[in-house]
Amino acid sequence: MPDVTSKPVHHDIIVIGGGVVGMSIAFRLVKEGREVALIEPNELGMGASYGNAGTIADYATIPVGTPNVLRNLPSLLFDRNSPLSLPYRTLPSLMPWLLEFFYQSLPKQAENNAQRIGALLKNASDMWRELSLELGASHHLHRRGCLYLYESNKAFAAAKYDERLRRQNGVAVDVITADEVLRHEPNLQPFEGGAHFFPDATSIDNPGEVMKIFARNLVERGITIHPTSAVSIDDSDGTRINVHCTDRVVQANKVIVAAGAFSKPLARSAGETVRLDTERGYHLEFDMDTPPVTRPVCSAKRGLYASPMVGRLRIAGTVELGGLSLPQSEHRLKMLERGARDMFPALGEPSRTWFGFRPSMPDSVPVIRATKHNKNVIMAFGHGHIGVTLAPTTAAIVSDLVKLG
């Protein structure tokens, strides 16, 4: 229990959450001369910020929910081998999120959501290049593009919808044949469809190392780290905001909630009801001197990315809705492994696996705004698959909100 007899430590700004979004916010605010503290119980950046596919996906304007997904939703959700799945036991608790997801997958809503996501993504790669130079991590970023494979003619034809939405939102897309793909990436297996190539896409060759560099920068700049878990936010005294943690209370003039998948109860304590839920993410890694591809390759059929990284190939992906409490699914890891071997039959045994949580909104649009009840409590969560991509963008938006408060 927190020690209520001692006077709470006071800060100018508290950022709750030490993932890449929270670290980016803290980094930007301290550069602007603010006194900042960060609350994070685990090693900074070692959750979903580490476990992703290593892509700065400025092409990712398509929300998870689209008319194509809606048409196939029953089979997608309840097929254990689908790229999008739902454990049966979580269905009652997920129903409010799913109902909103159904609505947001309708044509008009999906196009509106794509436009909103596209607006956020417009300068994502440029902002990351600038941030990586400041961090001293630019050698880990590579602008080699990204491939989306559609491995049947039917899937390739259906991808016209995604192509149109991306182009409408300013994404450069090269539509290429299967033969052209294999000329660029000869270690892939032959297929009959085609691909979308995003020439401007940037990738990170070692997300874990970039997160460690980020954490060191924060410490060097004097940001206070509270290694504890925030439980609730209380602004009832009308001036300072109290953040109640598992072992202490800390105070601030402004609080930013950037705790990813763990943000919902914190937002609720600040008077906000948000339709945030959890996608459970997985990856496998295969150690090797030279990965079989030179850029991230997404298999649309399998719902996975094959991402080349320093000394290894990372296979990441699938969407499993299931909350924070269930253990990892060995079945999902086996699915990823089968998909990896379909793409690269000569792979050996996986060297390691990872399991973590992505914060998911039904419309795939992150929540970045002040709460309705207090402009000094700011929410910055719900980034889904594009948390790394949008971290510097989110930090810029939050900085503007802080100045308005």
Average pLDDT value for residue range 373-386: 96
Give the residue from 265, 253, 194 showing the smallest Cα distance to 376.
253
Per-residue CA distances from 210 to 117, 367, 395 (Å): 25, 25, 17
Tokens of 149: 């494979």
pLDDT of 2 above 60: no
Domain contains 1: no
**Residues 6 or more apart in contact with residue 395 via CB below 8 angstroms:** 21, 24, 25, 27, 28, 29
pLDDT digits (tens, 9 = 90+) for 316-363: 987 788 888 888 889 899 999 999 999 999 999 999 999 999 999 999
Angle at 26 between CA 128 and CA 238, to 5 degrees: 140
pLDDT digits (tens, 9 = 90+) for 261-294: 999 999 999 999 999 999 999 999 999 999 999 9
Higher pLDDT, 61 or 71: 61
Query: DSSP state, 90?
Result: G
Q: Write down the pLDDT at residue 81.
A: 75
pLDDT of 249 above 70: yes
pLDDT of 5 above 80: no
Q: Write down the pLDDT at residue 343.
A: 96
Domain contains 4: no
* Cβ(261)–Cβ(269) below 8 Å: no
Q: Write down the pLDDT at residue 171.
A: 96
Domain contains 376: yes
Structural domain count of the chain: 1
**pLDDT category of residue 112 using cuts at 50, 70 and 90:** very high
Overall size of the chain counted in residues:
405
Domain contains 178: yes
Domain contains 392: yes
pLDDT of 90 above 90: no
Give the residue from 191, 170, 166 showing the smallest Cα distance to 180.
191
Phi/psi at 280 (nearest 5 deg)? Answer: -95, 115
Domain contains 180: yes
pLDDT of 4 above 80: no
Q: Is 200 exposed, middle or buried (0-12, 13-18, 19+ CB in 10 A)?
A: middle
Query: DSSP state, 204?
Result: E
* pLDDT above 70 as % of the chain: 98
Q: Write down the pLDDT at residue 93.
A: 86
Average pLDDT value for residue range 307-321: 93
Angle at 148 between CA 165 and CA 98, to 5 degrees: 60
Q: Write down the pLDDT at residue 1.
A: 45
At which residue do the structure tokens 């705004």 appear?
369
Domain contains 81: yes
Using CA atoms, how far apart are residues 84 and 358, in angstroms rounded to an integer? 14
- Chain mean pLDDT for the chain: 94
Domain contains 113: yes
Domain extent at residue 306: 9-404
Where helices occur in 169-248 by DSSP H, the ranges are 178-184, 207-220
Q: Write down the pLDDT at residue 323.
A: 84
pLDDT digits (tens, 9 = 90+) for 40-57: 999 999 999 999 999 999
pTM of the model: 0.95
Give the residue from 376, 373, 360 showing the smallest Cα distance to 243.
376
pLDDT digits (tens, 9 = 90+) for 73-85: 777 767 777 777 7
Q: From the CB of residue 1, how many other CB atoms can be counted at a distance below 10 Å?
A: 7
The helix or strand, by DSSP H or E, that contains position 93, with its residue range, turns out to be helix 91-104
Q: Write down the pLDDT at residue 28.
A: 98
CATH number, domain with residue 398: 3.50.50.60
pLDDT of 6 above 70: no
